[in-house]
Amino acid sequence: MLYESSPVAIAIFASFVLAVVALSFWLGRKGQSAKGYYAAHGEIHWFINGIAFAGDYLSAASFLGICGMIAFHGFDGFLYSIGFLAGWIVALFVIAEPIKSLGKFTFADALDAKFKSRGIKLSVAISTLVVSIFYLIPQMVGAGDLIVPLLGLPHAVGVILVGVAVTLIVVTAGMVSTTWVQFIKGSLLVFFCGVLTSMILSRGLTVNTGSLEPQTRSVTPDGRVLVDGQPQTRDHDLRPVGTLAALPARYGDATTTGPLGPLEYLSVLEDSRIVTWSGKKSTDASGTHTVFTPTEKAGADLLKPGGYFKGLTTGKLADKLDFASLMLALFCGTASLPHILIRYYTVKDAAAARKSTVVGIAAIGAFYVLTLFLGLGAMTSGALDPTSTNMAAPLLAKSFSETLFAVISAIAFTTVLGTVSGLIMAGSGAVAHDLVENVLRIPMDDAGKVRCGKIAAVGLGIVAMALGILFRNFNVSFLVGWAFNIAASANLPALVMLLFWPRTTKEGIISAVTVGMLASLTWILLSADTFEKVYGLSRDASPVPFSQPGLVTIPLGFLVLIVVSLLTKAEPKGKPA
Amino acid sequence: MAANSEPESPGPGRATRIGFGLFWIYVILYFGFIALVLFRPDVLSSRPFGGVNLAIASGLGLIAAALLLSVVYMVAARVVESPGGEKR
């Protein structure tokens, strides 16, 4: 669909971004030490850090991806919410306190606290960079997607805007301003999603059948876009979709319910009939055509598992394993994400780490409950763009008012800013602190460490911008799933075993991180999803039985660590490797 | 025990043990839910409470359980870490 930018939207958006960058400069005006740059002097209050956890974690995939998935496929999007939150249980109960007591600036510090090994630092720094970059790509792609309807600018401009703003934020004040950006973003996101949910509930559900004629979007070989055979213009565009066909019988002839309570909303929706749209792509000599067709479904069918994860209903074992693997990776991945782990170094002690995780779980849990209502509200809003699931939440806001649309889009953009700044912070720490200082052993004074981190941040910002433009057609949630799988496979076995198995050796850790990372990466590159979506090949050509690697590669990481640790002799006490 | 334990790994204090107990409770809840999704989706379609179906009720329940367990952990850890707490 074509979008018209409005001056109000641009003004609100610009004020958000400028306010965030200005705050960053203000916070960064003081002189900095390395501890200030990488770990905010360990002085962040636990409550601020807890909300910043939410800001860090609730990325474009959570906000845009999950809402869109629920809006188009129903309950299955909520499974992502459940899995993303469950991961915090591992973080809180298993990882939070030990990692706080072991580390200094980075995740590699914690893994290496016992052995002082360059090999560990090198392998963990590389895995941090790989996970951060895989997590960066969908954020940048999401930023570009948002800019198109909001400002009417090309996708690449959105990516560059985010890249420049984030690099400025990180370079000006490091972890201090990164934390505050995430705090502001986390608070705004939960608050405005709460506002939007209360508006959905007070609007209730209204029957709006709309036109059920199929729609076709074609792209000709010379790049022209046609809608139903005619050139796409604002007056001749795809129709917005997502409507309620009928209310439950108990409403008789009424076409609207009026305000509903949260559980009542879900209950009425379950007894209603809903029209969802799906697209089917084909290619011929005249171009690529996507035909969007409507299907009327019972609400009860949309609110049960199986709408997106088709394997849940086909009964095929490989499909079931694929789903189980994804849910395992979501459970194990959170506590292995470097940009989440470094946030434990910004508070003063283990008790503060624990308290900030609880605050984070409360904010993130509340947000994920809201995503259910946002997604279902969008599903019946009559405002969805059939070509873009990512735009469901902003377009839902637009169905209420232009101002709300601008605010929600600006928050979504700030969401990307917050997450990307955390990722670049983690990546720059891996390069400057782990690789340059500890692996290459280049001597640096305190100012040198900060300078090196800033140079690394600028470099990573440029890489992120390039990848965001390169991967623009990728599905955001799909890429985030990759990042979780790689993080869980490479980092979790080493982290858990180091903390709880005394016979763990440095060789075991290096092998587990390296094998976990390479195995999950290789599996992903050979998966049916990648064959189809990336290489454009047949799914059947894939040599691996299912697409999500976690079910195999996470246990593999543990196995490799145990076997290698048992085979290698422990270093004598007092002689670091 | 291994000779390579310098500095010592943080020993499993009482707070850590409580954390482990709560962790396993959640593991059972979470993977029990995943098992239902995989093998008995019909159960999740049922509406035992009249209003919302079991799929949504258990999803919301898992989110609430995460928060509840984390608060229990925070309080329990504070109690055992208070002066004399480890002896209780």
Q: With CB atoms and an 8 Å threshold, state whether A365 touches B20.
A: no
B73 domain residue, yes or no: yes
What pLDDT sits at residue B54?
Answer: 94
Residues A442 and A417 occupy one common structural domain: yes
Residues A114 and A189 occupy one common structural domain: yes
Rg, chain B, Cα only:
19
A197 domain residue, yes or no: yes
- For the ranges A37-41, A43-47, A452-456, A511-515, which has the lowest average pLDDT? A37-41
Residues A286 and A402 occupy one common structural domain: no
Q: With CB atoms and an 8 Å threshold, state whether B73 touches A92.
A: yes
Greater pLDDT, A371 or A36: A371
Nearest in space to A547 (alpha carbons), one of A199, A311, A365: A311
Instruction: Kindly indicate the confidence band of residue A443, based on its pLDDT and cuts at 50, 70 and 90.
Output: confident
What is the length of chain B? 88
Q: What's the domain count of chain B? A: 1
Residues A264 and A405 occupy one common structural domain: no
Highest averaged pLDDT of the listed ranges A15-19, A360-364, A412-416: A360-364
Nearest in space to A176 (alpha carbons), one of A14, A364, A23: A23
What pLDDT sits at residue B9?
Answer: 43
Chain A positions in Cβ-Cβ contact with residue B6 (cut-off 8 Å): 114, 573-574
Cβ–Cβ under 8 Å, residues A193 and A370: yes
pLDDT digits (tens, 9 = 90+) for A454-501: 888 888 888 888 888 877 766 676 678 788 899 999 999 998 998 888
| Chain A, chain B: beta-carbon pairs less than 8 Å apart | 147
Highest averaged pLDDT of the listed ranges A97-106, A154-163, A413-422, B3-12: A154-163
Cβ–Cβ under 8 Å, residues A34 and A437: no
Task: Examine the pLDDT at A216 and tell me if it is beyond 60.
Answer: yes
Calculate how close chain B gets to A15, using CA atoms only, in Å.
Answer: 34
CATH assignment at residue A146: 1.20.1730.10
Tokens of B44: 């999740």
Q: Residue A243: CB partners within 8 Å, gap ≥ 6? A: A207, A208, A209, A210, A274, A275, A380, A382
Last residue of a domain, one of A311, A327, A347: A311
Residues A306 and A422 occupy one common structural domain: no
Cβ–Cβ under 8 Å, residues A431 and A456: yes
Q: First and final CA of chain A: distance in angstroms?
A: 60
Q: In what order do the strands lie in the sheet with A225-227?
A: A230-231, A225-227, A215-219, A287-298, A273-284, A243-246
Chain B positions in Cβ-Cβ contact with residue A312 (cut-off 8 Å): 37-38, 41
What pLDDT sits at residue A162?
Answer: 77
What pLDDT sits at residue A158?
Answer: 78
What pLDDT sits at residue A366?
Answer: 95
Q: Is the dihedral of CA A84, A89, A95, A101 positive or negative?
A: positive
Question: For residue A219, which phi and psi values (nearest 5 degrees)?
Answer: -120, 120
Residue B18, domain extent: 14-82
Residues A222 and A258 occupy one common structural domain: yes
Residues A396 and A412 occupy one common structural domain: yes
Last residue of a domain, one of A271, A290, A311: A311
What pLDDT sits at residue A396?
Answer: 92
Q: Residue A432: CB partners within 8 Å, gap ≥ 6? A: A449, A452, A453, A455, A456
Q: Which residue of A has its CA nearest to B3?
A: A573
Residues A297 and A343 occupy one common structural domain: no
Percent of chain A with pLDDT over 90: 32
A80 at B interface, C-beta within 8 A: no
Tokens of A134: 């895989």
A22 domain residue, yes or no: no
Tokens of A461: 């910002």
Task: Examine the pLDDT at A198 and tell me if it is beyond 90.
Answer: yes
Q: Residue A448: CB partners within 8 Å, gap ≥ 6? A: none
Chain B positions in Cβ-Cβ contact with residue A351 (cut-off 8 Å): 77-78, 81
Residues A316 and A427 occupy one common structural domain: yes
Residue A264, domain extent: 215-311
Q: Round to whole Å and give the CA distance between A398 and A393.
A: 9
Cβ–Cβ under 8 Å, residues A105 and A429: yes
ipTM: 0.85
Q: With CB atoms and an 8 Å threshold, state whether A270 touches B47.
A: yes
Among B56, B69, B71, B78, the strongest candidate for a mutation testing the A interface, having the largest count of A CBs within 10 A, is B56
Greater pLDDT, A358 or A106: A358
Last residue of a domain, one of A259, A287, A311: A311
What is the length of chain A? 577
What pLDDT sits at residue B7?
Answer: 42
B19 domain residue, yes or no: yes
Chain A positions in Cβ-Cβ contact with residue B71 (cut-off 8 Å): 358
What pLDDT sits at residue A173?
Answer: 60
A36 domain residue, yes or no: no
How far from the centroid of its chain's Cα atoms is residue A368's Cα? Answer: 13
Chain A positions in Cβ-Cβ contact with residue B60 (cut-off 8 Å): 369, 372
Instruction: Reduce the DSSP state of residue A103 to 3 states and report it.
Output: coil
Instruction: Kindly indicate the confidence band of residue B10, based on its pLDDT and cuts at 50, 70 and 90.
Output: very low
A37 domain residue, yes or no: no
Residues A109 and A198 occupy one common structural domain: yes
Q: Over chain A, what is the mean pLDDT?
A: 84
A324 at B interface, C-beta within 8 A: yes
DSSP state of A278: E
Residues A441 and A542 occupy one common structural domain: yes
